[in-house]
Structure formats: structure tokens, C-alpha cells
Structure 1
Amino acid sequence: MIKVRSIKRTTVLLTSLTIVMFGFGYALVPLYDVFCEVTGLNGKTGRIYSSEASKLVIDDQRFVTINFDSNINGNLAWKLKADQKFLKVNPGKFYTVTYTVENMINEEIVGQAIPSVSPGIASLYLKKSECFCFRNQVLKPGERKKLIVRFELDKDIPKDVEALTLSYTFFRALKDSKTAT
């Protein structure tokens, strides 16, 4: 009798633990997004809209160097290169840079660019109004495209941030006619 009661108690305990763990795992995605937004970790950048752009104040006494990096995930037969290796920018002013991407095989491919900024704190101050990372990119066989990033570095970026790196990594994406350009 004691063994049966002990087995039932253990079963209830393990079932409860499984449900709690499942719930915690399900809640991790929104918790992670909040954590990244608060701390600036994971290099997620903000997006600025044209109505906000006219309110920007330019700090023409300060320069921050932005290094541009490009990467391709191993299973994507593309080449990606920033057309400029770096740019010295005034916080509060908009800049446009371009990347060149090329499909190296004889098949149409859809790719998705994932941005990253380091140091992580700088991601809170890099605001993009236009970016090829906002939409999937479709490249026909052998096609080459110029991709645009239009951004502003917020004037409130900490004074100790003198340089940052904006990096993009392209991954193969599922083709979706609504998001592909």
C-alpha cells in the first residue's frame, strides 16, 4: 500500500514538474524579447519612421566609427560584401550604406538577413529607417543586387562608445511571396 501511494505521489510530482517546465519554455520567447529590449543584448536594432526623422538633433562635434561586417550562413551559396568597410558618423544624422549580394548558383534562392550590433549597448541607439533585413531577398540564378541600409545613430549614445560594428548574416529562408522582394 505504501509503495502504491509513493508511486502515485511521484507520478503527480513528475507530471506537475513537466507542466511547469513546458509553461516556462513557452514563456521564454517573450521573456527573452523583453530582456533583449531592456539590456540591449543580442544586437537587435530599432526602427525609425520618416515622421520621426524630422525631429532628430545632430551632434556635429562628435564622431563614432561604424564598421560594416557581412557573413553568409554555410548552407547559402551567396556572396555578401559591404561596399564600405567603415564610416565615421555624427550622431543624429542619417546615413546610407550599401551592400552587394550575389547568388552563386543556378537556382533562385530566398535569403533573410539577420542584423547584429556590437557592443550590445550600441544596438539601443542605432535606428534604421530602411534596411534589406526588413524583408526577405530573392535572387535569381547568378543575380547580383545592391542592398541599402539607411540609419541614424541616436545622439544620446553613451560617450564611451566610440566605435561599433553593424553585422549582417544571410540565412536561407522559406520563399514567401508576401515578404520577398
Structure 2
Amino acid sequence: MPRAGLTPDQLVLVAAALADRDGLDRVTVSSVARQVGVKPASVYAHLDGADDLLRRVTQLALTEMAERAADAVAGRSGRDALEAWAGSFRTYAFAHPGRYAASHRPLGRTEALAGAGPRHTALSATILRGYDVPEHDHPHAVRLLGSTIHGFLDLEAAGSFDHSAPPAADSWPRVVDALDALLRTWPTP
């Protein structure tokens, strides 16, 4: 029987906070149960186990990231929108490292379409329209943007840039500049 006052949404927020504090790999049904002062069975009464818990943290992260990105790009276009969009992900990754890591967990197509996936797609299309990238090339451009931005952020979070100068913070605007230049001169077949 579910514990009175405990909800799946509350458990997901606890799991997300644990992920940010301790790392996504430390989030388990048991760790969430300890955090809220219940036995693991009480968590299972609200969720379908660890996979369900992590899937919900992923959906939370993607929703939060879409909201922040939408706020960042509102009223902007071109390079300004690109910089704001990419910057919103970087800010989120620093503020919520565990949730950001969760955002990389794969979701099934149905889950992605029912969650924040369409909003991320629409935001990406908004950025690309500011560059006149042909719509048939949007999937390619979105993949380029995502792999560059999230690849950089993942390497930065892992400390992969810490061993050399200049600091990663100095490289970030150069990455955005390079993406801007590439999108302005998008090749047509």
C-alpha cells in the first residue's frame, strides 16, 4: 500500500536531487527510500522499480531543459538564438549535473514523443530557421548541433579539458562561433 502523502512526482524530485548531489549512478530505489525515510517497498508501491524511476528522472530533465531553452531563445534569432540555446544547456549541466546526465539516457519513441521530445524538436527547428537551413536538412543539422554541444559539455563535466590551457570556458564561445559560421554557410547538395 502506498504511503500517505508520498507521490511518484515527489520521489522523482528526490531522485533528481540525489543524482545532482551524488551522481546518477548512485540513484537507486534504496537510496531514494533512505532519503525519504521509508523502506524500498514503499517506493515500489509508487513506481515500477529502478528503470521507471530513472526514466522519470530523464523525462524531468528533458522537460526542465526544454523550458529553459525556450525561455532563453524567446525573441531571438540567428547567432543570438544559437548562443542562448546552447548556453541554456551549459547552465543546466553545471546546475544539475545528475539530471543532465540523465537527459542522455535513451527513451523509447513513444516516451520521447509523449514527453519533451517534440518541444526540443520545435526549438531546434526555430534555431535552424534563423539560418535558412533547408527543412529536409534539419535532422542532419540537429544531430550536428546536439553532438557538438552535448559532446563538449560531457567532456567538460568529465574533466577532460582540465589538463590543458586555455580553460574550457574560453573554448565555449569559439565552439558557438564555429557552429554559427557552419550554419550560415550550410552546404546544399
Task: Sort the TM-score into its range (normalised by shorter chain).
Answer: under 0.3
Larger RCO (CA within 8 A; separation ≥ 6): 1
**TM-score using structure 1 length:** 0.26
| TM-score where L is the length of structure 2 | 0.26
* Higher helix proportion (structure 1 or 2): 2
Larger Rg, first or second structure (1 or 2): 1
